[in-house]
Amino acid sequence: MKNHKRGTWHIGVSALALAFLTTPAIGLAEEERDLLTDALSAAWPGMAEGATVVDWEGNVLQEGSNGYTCLPTPAMLSGSAPMCMDSEWMKWADAWQNKKDYAPESLGISYMLAGDEGASNIDPYAEGPTDDNEWIVEGAHLMILAPAAMLDAFPTDPDSGGPYVMWKGTPYAHLMVPIGSRDD
């Protein structure tokens, strides 16, 4: 009987140790699943199937093959702002994240079909609304990179009723193309 109790004790301790060891992994897997879900919410369904998904530290959460990379909402932002970018936009993202100069080498397209919960229309690094930073919450939209001269024909007013330039005069200027109504 003594060996039976000892065996039961070892099984209990082993099960407890396994639970403690796997709990962080389960939490990590759940966090990765949440990041993956957030990132892919920016894509249309056909794109999501073949997109690569990475977090903002460059960790690959899903391998893809269609040339688009989806990222979850940047940690510095509150709310939701996932995006799916082509290769030109990935160069832009690296420059923006590392505060480096950037000039597009080709047209670039990024999808933000889940919309966002706000950004300054004039300050690429604003973390919240102020009286003078033209904070805008945008619904589903596309973002297009083009040489600065091509953007000159578009307004910077997000309330103009169509596409507008965000962050004009910075290396991160791009065309915002709303494709749905804004949640006011």
- Position 115 in a domain: yes
Residue 179 CB contacts under 8 Å (≥ 6 apart), including other chains: 113, 139, 140, 141, 142
Instruction: Answer whether residue 28 is part of any domain.
Output: yes
* Residue 27, pLDDT score: 52
Q: CA–CA separation, 178 vs 184, rounded Å? A: 14
- Residue 162 located in a structural domain: yes
Question: How many separate domains does the chain show?
Answer: 1
Give the pLDDT confidence of 103-154 residue by residue, as tens digits. Answer: 999 999 999 999 998 899 999 999 889 999 999 999 999 999 999 999 999 9
Is the distance from CB of 51 to CB of 109 less than 8 angstroms? no
Q: Is residue 184 part of a domain?
A: no
Instruction: Give the span between the Cα atoms of 90 and 16, in whole angstroms.
Output: 44
In this prediction the pTM is 0.79
pLDDT at 184: 53
The whole-angstrom separation of Cα 69 and Cα 52 is 5
Any domain includes 183? no
Enclosing domain of residue 162: 2-178
pLDDT 10s digits, 158-168: 999 999 999 99
